[in-house]
Amino acid sequence: MGEYGAKDARWISMAGMTPVILTGALFVYFCGMVPTIASGGIIRHSIPWIPSLDIALSFYIDGLSLMFSLLITGIGALVMLYSARYLAGHPQFARFALYLFSFMLSMLGLVLADNVLALFVFWELTTFTSYLLIGFSHADPKSRRNALQALLLTAAGGLALLAGFILLGFATGTYELSEINAAGSLASNPLYGPILVLVLLGAFTKSAQVPFHFWLPNAMAAPTPVSAYLHSATMVKGGIYLLARMHPSLSGTDAWIWTLTIFGGVTAVFASLMALRQTDLKQTLAYTTLMALGTLTMFLAGSSGYAITGAMAFLFVHSLYKAALFLSVGIIDHATGTREAGVLGGLAGAMPVTAAAAGLAALSMAGIPPFLGFIAKEVAYSGAVGASLWGFVVLAALAANALMFAVAGIVAFKPFFGPQGKLPHAPHEGPWPMLAGPVILGVLGLAFGILHGLAASWVIEPATNAVLGFTDSGGRVKLWAGFNLALGLSVVTFILGAILYLRHQALRDRLAAIEARGPDFDAGWDRLMAWLVVVAEWQTRLIQTGVLRQYLFATFAVTAVALALPLFWLGALQLDLAMPSVTLREGVVAALIIAGALLAATTGSRITGIAALGVVGIGVALIFIIYGAPDVAITQLLVEMLIVVLIAIAALRMPYLDPTDKGPAFRPRDAALGGVLGVLVALVMLMVTAGPIDRRLTDFFEAASWTEAFGRNIVNVILVDFRTLDTFGEIAVVIVAALGAFALLRSARRDKGEERE
């Protein structure tokens, strides 16, 4: 990062400390809730949001949401402290700090929201703020492209999730997650299938499951602090949080078990192999995040205590070591000018604190005792053995963990103790604000491993109980559980991991050759975007013809179809027609209106058509007079006169037509559409008037017009007092339309004058 002057750096450092202090205060606040939640308590706050729909802005804190809140705020404070020094002097640091703090608040809202609609709002806020963070280096085309890719893909999944939430509300009668989960499984509900598909689409795109995985490594275009935060405790864990939160209501079915197990297992193994393939340390860590997300998804498929405990323990420890490793890689990049594994080596002498912090995090990542990573791996293996598809789960977990053992050596051992290549500049130790995060998080991985009872009782077991619906007793988080199958799988993991590390260079070359022949999802995304552009251009040429009559025909045709489908195809037409008694006066007016409409539909003269429409308008005004609405009739007549005047003025300003071009005398297609639409609207109106009328608003206006608004004309009072903003908006629309028409007429007159010259 460049230096931008001591004065600017001091100012930006002061600005950078504000989000650190605020986030740290939130962390302390959530720490104060640990005793209550650990003892089985629940904290819930609710604020009326949309009372007419019985929707509240409610927040719910249990073991699961508290664990996420502690990770989001705790790691967030360390990342923001790191950022204040990492980007010191950057001219846009204040903007970066605002984006990062907004991202943190959005993620907090996501994990604390009890109302699914509020959860969706925060879900999309994380998408938007992550877009701003990934594209922070907006001058770089790659950053802009990757940010847009993340935005479009996760936002598309968010729209699917919104549809799933709406169906969830229909199926359960509530939008509160606590009430939905308390009701138990939705497996017997007819809407279970669509809800499951839509929710999984949202979760899989957010948490980058194959085949939606490619956006996550591309998000490495963001600054390193963003990568550390996004991959450890925030956005990509949003999908995992959703799966865990919806576990009581959606789990237990074959569809849930098979989908999560297969997608999670494939993602875990694929990402582990791709991590071994990378040479850039940030890209390597990005793919290990994919591996973790796949593993978590795979274990959330189960319903046993060991499977869920393993998922919660792994989620917790992964957040600690992944943030520490990303921040350590950032220090390496800052100190040496490169992240290439083939060049880095021998840095331990110049960077001993970074080496120690990265080593602690890597040992936890590799699952070496007595680190918390070892305990999480042991519990996860115990859950894998008891899974429904236990053979597949065990093999996938074993392969992923062995590959992670090798990657831990590549990321944290080789750069510090391996042979050193030619570095861009001499290495040096990082400053304390950048070292604080990796050191604290690395030490916590060891401390919580040794004092595993605290981690279990404070964080892991309350989260497990929240996922399982408070039916589990816990007690499985142990450093030593005896000689069992899980321990044997751990030993196999260490042996395979060591072999993979020693042979990683040869394996990397082979994986590169395989990758070159395999499908390129990222290039496929570019082809999809190019195809969408082609389709959009074709659609524009098809629809935007420039002919107003075609636009009107398309609009009215769509309206006719929208009315006809529910009336006839869905059987909504229920009408008992009885011949009404018609007086001579009413019959004459009806005949006048029909004659005017027929003349307007069949004439080839524009002036005649305008006059015919005027006849229809006058007939409508007469109907208002007959049925006792003279004020509305006067308005109708004034509108008809105004239209005649405006059209006459416009006709004077418009260019002359060719007198030999008479145009078609009759357009049967347009006339038929007009007739069909008229019949459909008439049927709808007859159905509306045939049913009982809800007089609640009518009674209110009748009672309040004089007593509250001091007006005897109810219609005027409604327009001026009760619906003032609506009336103002309508006036504004008329004014804008008039200004537009005036501008067009002036333009036509000017063009006409230029032609004469």
Tokens standing for residue 421: 């290549």
Structural domain includes residue 383: yes
Q: Is residue 460 part of a domain?
A: yes
Please check whether residue 113 is in contact with residue 58, taking contact to mean a CB–CB distance below 8 angstroms: yes
Query: How long a stretch of residues is the chain?
Result: 757
Is 216 in contact with 236 (CB distance < 8 Å)?
yes
Residue 663 has pLDDT above 80, yes or no: no
Residues 32-84: tens digit of each pLDDT: 999 999 988 899 998 888 877 777 889 999 999 999 999 999 999 999 999 98
Total structural domains in the chain?
Answer: 1
Asked whether the bond before 369 is cis by omega within 30 degrees of 0, the reply is no
Domain assignment present for residue 212? The answer is: no
Looking only at the bridges linking them, the beta strands covering 55-61 and 43-50 are: antiparallel
Cβ contact 443:358 at 8 Å: no
φ, ψ for residue 316 (rounded to 5)?
Answer: -65, -50
Q: CA torsion angle for 606, 608, 609, 610 (degrees, to 10)?
A: 90
What does the block give as tokens for 168? Answer: 């969830």
Residue type, 590: A
β-partners of residue 176 are 115
Residue 391 lies in a domain: yes
Does 214 score more than 90 pLDDT?
Answer: no
Give the whole-angstrom CA distance, residue 323 versus residue 74. Answer: 11
In this structure, what token pair is assigned to residue 300?
């959330």
Residue 113 pairs with which residues in a beta bridge?
59
- More confident site: 448 or 481: 448
pLDDT of residue 516: 66
Q: Dump the DSSP string for 28-52.
A: HHHHTTHHHHHTT--EEEEEEEEGG
Helix axes 432-450, 305-336, angle to 10 degrees: 150
The answer as to whether 649 is a domain residue is: no
Two tokens at 417? Answer: 């103790």
> Is residue 15 domain-resident?
no
Q: Per the omega criterion (within 30 degrees of 0), is the bond before 211 cis?
A: yes
Angular region, 140: left φ>0, alpha ψ -120 to 50, beta rest:
beta
The mean predicted confidence, pLDDT, of the chain is 85
pTM of the model: 0.80
- CB-based contact 19:101 (threshold 8 Å): yes
**Angle 93-112/235-245 helices, nearest 10 degrees?**
10
- Dihedral angle at the C-alpha atoms of 418, 420, 421, 422, nearest 10 degrees? 160
Closest CA to 40 of 475, 469, 476: 469
> What pLDDT was estimated at residue 615?
87
Q: With the CA atoms of 428, 432, 437 and 443 taken in that order, what torsion angle do they form, in degrees rounded to the nearest 10? A: 90
Establish if 705 belongs to a structural domain.
no
pLDDT in tens, 199-213: 999 999 999 898 888
Domain residue limits at 379 = 251-502
pLDDT over 90, % of the chain: 37
Mean pLDDT of the region 355-369: 93
Residue 672 pLDDT > 90 = no
Lowest mean pLDDT among 139-148, 305-314, 633-642, 671-680: 633-642
pLDDT for 365 equals 93
In a domain, residue 533? The reply is no
